[in-house]
Structure 1
Amino acid sequence: MHLNKLILSLIFIITLNINYADTIPSSILNSERIQMKFGSYGLDILYSDHDTRVSYLYSFDSSNHKKKIYQTFAIVKFLESKIDQETQKRIDNGASIGATLKENGWSISKINLDIARINSDEYPLFKTPESSESLHSLAAHFYKLKIKKEDKFFDYAEILEIHNPGYLNYNELIKIFPVTNRDESHKRLKSILEGVFTERNVLFLVKESNKQ
């Protein structure tokens, strides 16, 4: 009897200590992952044109449901747009890419290209407590989004996501996503990031968004 209680206690302790990154499969979309972890999800578009979309994915503060906490800074570079115009228009107007594609019958797969550390002094994307050890290191995930519907199959976008360390850190990302072709992909990652931040309006919008 005592042995059974001890075993159950150990199982309970182990369950509590399972890393968050190990409990949710890699096939889950980032928007779904935020919803599952924090219980809420939203999207703020900072910049959008015919081939690029820059946004923040957020959850609401559990103690203040009107306060947004930015969890991911996302840059989307659209590659091909062979989907119907209505669906693409919804995405252009700020709808979640993954959720919108799924709703319209597209199956989605990610080709993981690179996972890197980004210096937050150089790219101040999130408000982070001064005491945080992760203050100077943000985890970046770069991948290609492939979509399929019936006989249509193509590369839809390259996506660079940089995460709030309170949501996902580098070590957690490495556990979730296998990475291949890293050297060339890392150059592309840096090129996309630097390209967006040469746009002064984007940097201004990032700063304004984090004043809330």
Structure 2
Amino acid sequence: MPDLVLRQIFAEYDYAVLCKMERVCKRWMNIINAKFRKEIHEVSIERLGSSFPQTHQCIPFRRLSISCPSDSHDFLAGVFRRSRLSILKMTTDINFLAGIDQIYVAKDTGRRYFSNVEDLWLLIIHPDDDVTQRFLSIEETLFSELNQLTLQVHVNPRYYRNVSEIVKSFILRYPKSNINLELHAEKSMHILNQMSVLPSLPLYKIKLICTDF
């Protein structure tokens, strides 16, 4: 069948089915991957509370939402093989970025993992010493240039300093980025203490979410 007919057939199937269909032959794989690169410009990765990988593709918004366990390395490697270079916007958590070297990504030496991502929404929750050090050791290899950066911090007194180090690394790496900061906590003193140890921030917007307030 002509490629045009195949593309019309593939348009009737969802992401999970197409991932299986691409294994039929190299021709099908190329057509399906070209479809993904065109339709997926945003990836949202949720790794909390999921027992098995799930995906939902919203074609009008060019978004792929992923819900998977934290150890789904092969699954995520497949996702990035298909559309890594077409991703312009990403939503994920600090633990994912800190452990990106555990996921096989076919990239040239010296190239960033997500070189075309311009907009990052990052959840920072429980960044212990190990996660923080792993992130700081790999952060220069993640993105080329971020224009929009949203950091959602769930404040914990144990990790004030680690959050500060993570935020500082983003500011130094992407000084031209518009930075949105969200601080979530139950007690106002925790938010104030967290703010007191943060570096000087060229913030575009700040949101404070606290039951005390």
TM-score (norm 1): 0.24
Q: Which has the higher helix share?
A: 2
Name which structure has the greater RCO, CA cutoff 8 Å, separation 6+.
1
